[in-house]
């Protein structure tokens, strides 16, 4: 791969990371607290959050896929050399990063699965009792927090790789 090709791949990887991490943080730090001041109804807040989540997924899921494709492309030569993977710190950090990415995908998949179509329809048509919404909300918040923490941890391992520690 030439230097300019590598730069373009890294650029795409960085833009996708900015969309994924920036978007999740925006929802957690800016949008979610603001939503609390907009209405006291938990039901209404969940309905708005579902619509925001649905919209965000349209860019977040492709970003995550692009991150995996460009990341694996950048590292495919090293990944095909298991001895180097385990004997260098770069290889070890790369393995940890990939494990964290797998954990991220699983958490995100569970997060999306919790608000399945039937659950979503029940909330949207005001057919879910408030106690059930409360339970669901707690689960979604925890899963969202794990997603953000994992993403930040992945960025740390990306920095270790970049610095050649």
Write out the residues near ligand HEM by the rule CB under 6 A.
10, 13-14, 17, 20-21, 67-68, 71-72, 74-75, 94, 97-98, 101, 151, 154-155, 158, 161-162
Tell me which residue has its CB nearest to ligand HEM. 71
Minimum gap (Å) between residue 106 Cβ and ligand HEM: 13
Q: Alpha-carbon distance 130 to 108, whole Å?
A: 24
Which of 111, 103, 106, 104 shows the shortest CA–CA distance to 140? Answer: 111
Residue 42, Cβ density class (10 Å: 0-12 exposed, 13-18 middle, ≥19 buried): middle
Minimum gap (Å) between residue 25 Cβ and ligand HEM: 11
Nearer to ligand HEM, 98 or 128 (CB): 98
Q: Alpha-carbon distance 26 to 84, whole Å?
A: 38
Nearer to ligand HEM, 68 or 128 (CB): 68
């Amino acid at each position: 791969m030439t230097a300019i090709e590598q730069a373009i791949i890294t650029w795409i990887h960085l833009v996708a990371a900015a969309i994924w991490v920036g978007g999740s943080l925006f929802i957690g730090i800016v949008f979610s607290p603001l939503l609390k001041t907009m209405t006291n109804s938990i039901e209404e807040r969940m309905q708005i959050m579902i619509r925001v989540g649905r919209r965000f997924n349209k860019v977040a899921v492709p970003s995550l896929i692009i991150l995996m494709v460009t990341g694996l492309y950048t590292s495919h030569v090293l990944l095909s050399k298991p001895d180097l993977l385990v004997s260098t710190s770069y290889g070890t950090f790369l393995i940890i990063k990939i494990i964290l990415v797998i954990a991220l995908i699983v958490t995100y998949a569970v997060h999306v699965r919790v608000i399945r179509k039937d659950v979503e329809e029940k909330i949207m048509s005001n057919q879910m009792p408030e106690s059930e919404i409360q339970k669901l909300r707690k689960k979604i918040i925890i899963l969202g927090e794990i997603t953000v923490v994992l993403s930040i941890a992945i960025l740390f391992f990306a920095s270790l790789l970049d610095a050649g520690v």
